[in-house]
Amino acid sequence: MTDPSGPPARHRVRRAIGGLAVGLVLAEVIVRGVLALPAVYEPLSYRFGPRSALLAWYEHGQPLEDSVTAWHPRWGWTLAPGTHVTDGVAYTIDAGGHRVVGTPGDGPRVAVLGDSFTYGDEAPGDASWPGQLQAAHPTWQVQDLAVPGFGVVQAWLRWHDERPPADVVVVGLNALMVERTTEAFATWWRPALTPGACTLAGPIPTPRATWWTTLATPRLVDLGAFVAWTVDPPTWADQTAHAEATLACLTDAVATDGTPIVWVWLPGHSELGAGDERPGPRWFHAWCDRTGADCVDASPQVEAAAAQGSVRAGSHYNRAGSGAVAAAVGPRLEALLGVAGSAVTQ
C-alpha cells in the first residue's frame, strides 16, 4: 500500500542526491563560463603578471598588471622579450627571457636565480645587484635568470630546464620565496613539487582554454582551496619544510654539472633592524649549518646601507640596497672564481 504522505524515503534520498549533483554541475559550468569571459580572463591571464587580479586584490587591494611577464607552460610565467616601461622604469629582456643587467665580458660565467629582489624590480637593470656585480667585474658574464614572483620551485625548474653554462650559480632567497612553496593554489597559479620527489605534481594550466575545457580539476575545488588557504594559511614550519625539499632538488641539479652554488639571503624591508626577531634569517642560518651549504647573509650590509640612507625602491631595493647585496656576495664569488673586481658603488 502506497504511503499517502509522500514518496518512499529512498526516492527522496535519490532526488536530494540528484539535485545536489545537478547543482554542483551548474555551479561548475557557471564558474568556468565566468572565468572564460574576456573581461574576467584578461586580468587573470599570466601575461598580465605572476599574480592573478584576484590574488593582487587580496594582497594589495588593487590589480597587478605587468606586461613584462608572459605565460609559461612549466614555470607558470616567464619574462617577455623586448623593452617594457612600467612606472618610468625600463626593463629590457633578451630573447632568452633574461633581464639585461649590463655588458658581459668573456670571463667567468655567473648564473643568478631568484625573484623580484634579484631581478631588480622598480629599478634600472644596472642598479640591480646582479647588474652591480657585472659592473664591478667587467670580465664576468652575469646572467640574471630571476623572475618576479618566482618561488624556489620555479627557480629550480628554470635551472633544470635551461641549464645555462655557468662557473658558479647564485641563488637569492628571501621569506617570500619560501612562503610561495605552500600556496594551496600552487597547481592553479604556479608549479608544485610532488612530495618526496624532484618532479612536478602536475602541469600548469594553459590560459583561457583551461578555464572552460579542462576537466582534470574542477574549478570549484580550486576556489575552495584558495578560500581554505586564506582562512587557515600554512605555518612557517610547513613553508620551510617544503622549501628545503626544493632547495635539495636545486642543489642536486646544479651538483650534477659540478658547479658550485652560493645561497644569498636578501632581507625584506620589515626584517631590517629586527635583530633576532627575524624567522627568515634564523631559518637560513640553521639550514646552511645543517646542510653545509655555501651561504651569504646580506642583512648586515643592507642594514648598514639603510643606516646611511634609503635602500628602498617601492617594495624592493634601490641602487644603494642592491649595491649592499653585491658588496656582500662579491668577495665570496671572487674567492670561488679567483678573479677580483672593483669596489661596488652603493
Domain boundaries, the chain: 9-337
State the average pLDDT for the chain: 80
User: Which residue did the predictor score with more confidence, 203 or 163?
Assistant: 163
pLDDT in tens, 137-174: 999 999 999 998 888 999 999 999 999 999 999 999 99
Could you tell me where the DSSP H helices lie in the chain?
9-36, 38-44, 53-60, 116-119, 129-136, 152-162, 175-179, 186-189, 209-213, 219-231, 236-255, 279-291, 299-308, 319-337
The reported pLDDT for the residue numbered 201 is 75
- The values of phi and psi at residue 210, to 5°, are -60, -40
* Topology classification of domain 9-337: Rossmann fold (3.40.50)
Most confident of 26-40, 87-101, 229-243: 87-101
Question: What is residue 275's three-state secondary structure?
Answer: coil
User: Which residue did the predictor score with more confidence, 102 or 5?
Assistant: 102
Average pLDDT over residues 194-211: 65
pLDDT tier at 255 (50, 70, 90 boundaries)? confident
pLDDT surpassing 90 at residue 300: yes
The reported pLDDT for the residue numbered 43 is 47
pLDDT tier at 248 (50, 70, 90 boundaries)? very high
The reported pLDDT for the residue numbered 47 is 36
Percent of the chain having pLDDT more than 90? 43
